[in-house]
Every structure is written in structure tokens, then in C-alpha cells.
């Protein structure tokens, strides 16, 4: 976060008052000053002053009227000094009236798409008021390509001894939704997990064993195709298959009965029963599969919140959701979830990942090997996630406690 300051400028209006003195009309001219100054502050989610690929930053502008007249029809505008690609922004915000000795604050959203290149972008900033145009000032922000920022878990991914020609991985990351808020870093989470599925979990790297989709590709119809009877997964699974499912995106509760749903890219969190895919149904369909093992990683919460601690649901607070289903008693099904109860699954801006996913990846690459036997078990990964996610969430002023559902705590996930 950093600040910039604009110099003041004064404008004047002539006010004519009539009065009568000894029957003679006189005109008095009073000069009323509208004296402005405005200062700005730019912030980005990671707090490193760079607008990274996929991020939305906020340019906050505070405009003060320290003069003797009311400022009317005030409009603040921003625009890049040259034609830019990969950037979207709010071009103008109507402020309206600013009374004497008061101020108003506006926030411009500036977003960088996934393909943004590293560059410096200069925005011109103007403030207009009732026919008075002020000198435009400029402010420069720096964008950063996704290729330039790599967290420690994104590089030097180790190999393992895991080699199952019948293993299958379904990897879904929904960052951008049609109707609701985005899930920061979800596409990046999914893309990196795909590499871990191949390198560490031993999943064959071909389209019959890895199913990878993001954003608009992950619709409700896609969930139906993947996880129902005679669907994509059921047609490919074998008794010797180890199945891995990774999902980063929104979850939401059906409020009346507090039933959790996965929300596809075309879904609406306020209508989960109509537009979502029931988490209970998801577990039940998985339990039917004739697979050797099924391991699920859900970087989503079902309380109705987002990674940025805002609410998906209209006029709602986070809801306490208990995930209980007989299918979870199956010996072959283990589920790792990012949070518990009414908690929110947080993003980790410093690492450009979901908080749960970051430590999931870190654990799988060897950090969770508590006894140094070159194996990562379900139990070891659970302990590692609990300790690290809960601790870092505290530094972010949040509460987040991952959960593990399932009975096979000694299942080996990775062997080196």
C-alpha cells in the first residue's frame, strides 16, 4: 500500500446580491472560493504494491472541500495515458455534492487479467465540479506477469515412487463466476495441483486419466457429466484405480436446511438447490465407485463466505454447516476440506494461492513427512495442515481449521 498526494487548486464563483439603500438598488459582488485538494492511496490484495496477474487493486481517492462554497456535481475520473490491454478499470465515479469543510472518498477498481505483462501503467486522474475542470494529475502502478511471481510450491516439484497406471485425477478450479464474486487464485491453485498430481501422486499425464477444467468450463452440466452414474469418472474407474479429486471454488449452504452445495461457474449461491451440486450427492456418487481409493481435496467453504471475507449470500451471516454423510464411513473415501463449521476458506495473497492449497502442496512435496520415512500418510498431512493453516490464518486475523473426513488415516498418499 502506498500514498500519493495532489496539490490544491482554487476556483472562484461570483455571487451577486441585491439590496436597497435609500430606495436605490445596489449590487454587491462576493467572491466564494471552492478550494480542493485530493489525495490517493493504491492497494493490492498481496500488499506488495504490484498489481499481479489476476488481481484487483483499489485506487482510493479522497477529495476535500476546504473552501467557502459548496462543490456540486463532483465527478472523479481515471484513464490510462496510453492504450492498454489486459487492464479493466472503473473510468468515472459520480460523487455529487461536497459541502464546506468536508470530504468524500471513492474507490476505483483496477483489475489485471491472467495474461497481463509486466509493465508500468500511468493513470491520469481528474476531478470535475459544475463546469470547473481541474488540472489532471497522474499516478503510476506496476503490473506483474504471473510468470514473474512463483511461490516456493510452484517450482522444483519433486518426483515420487508413486506409479499407478490406473490412477485418475479430476481437477477443477473456478476463479471467475458469471453471477457472483471471484475466488482469488483458484485457477492458479488448480494448475499447480495438476503438476503435483502427475509428479507426486503418479497419475498418468493424458486426457483419460487427468480431467482439468477451469472457470466457464466448470458448469453444473459438467458436474453432472463427471460425477453421476455412467458419467466420465464411472466409465474409467477400475478396482485398481486411485482416484483424486481437487476442487477450488465456491461452496454455499441451502439456508433453511443447512445443506452444503458446490457452486459451478454458472451457479448462484443464493439459489444453491437450483444451480448448485449437492455435496451429499457428490459423496454418495463417489462411494458407489468401484475404486481402490478416493481422495478428495476441497478448497472451498460452505458457510456462504469468500476468500476475501465477504458474503456470497444476500443479507446473511456465515452459517454453521456440519458435513455428515454415511458415505464418509466408507474405508475407501477420504476428504480433506479447507475449513470447519462457519469458517471462511482464506486466500494467501503473499503466495498467490488459497491458504489451504498452499500448505496442501507444501505438505505433499515432503514437509508433512513427520517421521522422515519418505512417506506422507493421511494422518501426517492432516496434522501438517492443522498446524500450519490455523497458524497462518491467525496472522491474517482469521480463523481457519481444516478438516479430514474418512477412516483410512494411514493411507499413503505419496512415497518418495
- Reference 211, options 199, 193, 230, 229; nearest CA is 193
How many residues would you count in the chain? Answer: 416
- Reference 374, options 326, 412, 325; nearest CA is 412
Q: How many CA atoms lie within 13 A of 314 on its CB side?
A: 5
Dist CA 248 CA 183 (whole Å): 8
pLDDT tens string 180-199: 888 989 999 999 999 999 99
Q: Can you tell me the mean pLDDT for 362-366?
A: 97
Hey, what domains does the chain have and what are their CATH numbers? 2-144 (2.60.40.10), 152-415 (3.40.50.1460)
Residue 83 predicted with pLDDT over 90? no
Would you state the pLDDT for residue 38?
65
Joined grid coordinates for residue 14: 461570483
pLDDT tens string 273-319: 999 999 999 999 999 999 999 999 999 988 766 666 666 654 444 44
Largest pairwise CA distance in the chain: 109
Q: In terms of pTM, does the model score above 0.75?
A: no
Would you state the pLDDT for residue 133?
53
Amino acid at each position: 500500500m502506498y500514498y500519493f498526494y495532489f496539490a490544491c487548486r482554487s476556483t472562484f464563483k461570483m455571487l451577486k446580491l441585491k439590496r436597497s439603500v435609500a430606495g436605490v438598488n445596489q449590487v454587491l459582488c462576493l467572491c466564494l472560493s471552492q478550494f480542493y485538494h485530493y489525495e490517493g492511496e493504491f492497494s493490492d490484495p498481496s500488499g506488495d504494491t504490484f498489481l499481479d496477474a489476476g488481481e484487483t487493486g483499489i485506487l482510493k481517492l479522497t477529495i476535500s472541500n476546504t473552501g467557502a462554497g459548496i462543490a456540486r456535481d463532483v465527478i472523479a475520473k481515471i484513464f490510462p495515458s496510453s492504450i492498454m490491454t489486459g487492464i479493466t478499470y472503473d473510468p468515472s465515479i459520480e460523487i455529487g455534492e461536497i459541502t464546506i469543510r468536508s470530504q468524500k472518498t471513492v474507490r476505483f477498481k483496477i483489475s489485471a487479467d491472467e495474461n497481463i505483462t509486466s509493465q508500468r501503467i500511468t493513470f491520469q486522474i481528474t476531478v470535475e465540479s459544475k463546469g470547473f475542470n481541474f488540472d489532471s494529475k497522474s499516478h503510476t502502478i506496476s503490473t506483474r506477469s504471473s510468470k514473474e511471481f512463483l511461490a516456493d510450491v510452484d517450482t522444483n516439484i519433486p518426483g515420487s515412487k508413486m506409479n499407478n497406471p490406473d490412477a485418475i485425477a479430476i481437477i477443477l478450479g473456478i476463479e471467475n463466476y458469471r453471477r457472483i464474486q471471484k475466488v482469488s487464485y483458484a485457477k492458479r491453485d488448480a494448475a499447480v495441483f495438476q503438476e503435483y498430481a502427475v509428479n507426486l501422486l503418479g497419475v498418468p499425464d493424458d486426457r483419460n486419466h487427468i480431467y482439468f477444467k477451469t472457470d466457464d468450463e466448470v458448469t453444473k452440466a459438467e458436474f453432472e457429466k463427471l460425477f453421476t452414474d455412467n458419467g466420465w469418472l464411472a466409465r474409467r474407474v477400475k478396482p485398481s484405480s486411485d482416484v483424486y479429486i481437487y476442487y477450488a471454488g465456491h461452496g454455499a449452504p441451502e439456508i433453511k436446511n443447512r445443506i452444503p452445495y458446490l457452486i459451478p461457474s454458472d451457479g448462484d449461491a443464493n439459489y444453491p438447490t437450483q444451480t448448485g451440486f449437492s455435496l451429499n450427492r457428490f459423496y454418495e456418487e463417489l462411494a458407489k465407485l468401484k475404486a481402490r481409493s478416493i481422495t478428495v481435496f476441497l478448497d472451498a467453504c460452505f458457510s456462504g463466505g469468500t476468500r476475501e471475507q465477504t458474503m456470497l449470500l444476500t443479507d446473511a451471516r456465515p452459517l454453521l454447516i456440519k458435513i455428515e454423510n454415511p458415505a464418509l464411513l466408507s474405508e475407501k473415501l477420504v476428504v480433506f476440506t479447507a475449513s470447519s463449521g462457519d469458517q471462511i476458506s482464506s486466500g494467501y495473497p503473499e503466495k498467490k494461492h488459497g491458504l489451504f492449497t498452499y500448505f496442501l502442496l507444501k505438505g505433499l512435496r515432503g514437509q508433512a513427512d513427520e517421521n522422515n520415512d519418505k512417506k506422507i500418510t493421511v494422518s501426517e498431512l492432516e496434522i501438517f495442515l492443522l498446524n500450519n493453516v490455523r497458524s497462518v490464518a491467525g496472522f491474517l486475523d482469521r480463523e481457519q481449521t481444516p478438516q479430514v473426513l474418512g477412516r483410512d488415516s494411514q493411507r499413503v498418499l505419496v512415497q518418495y
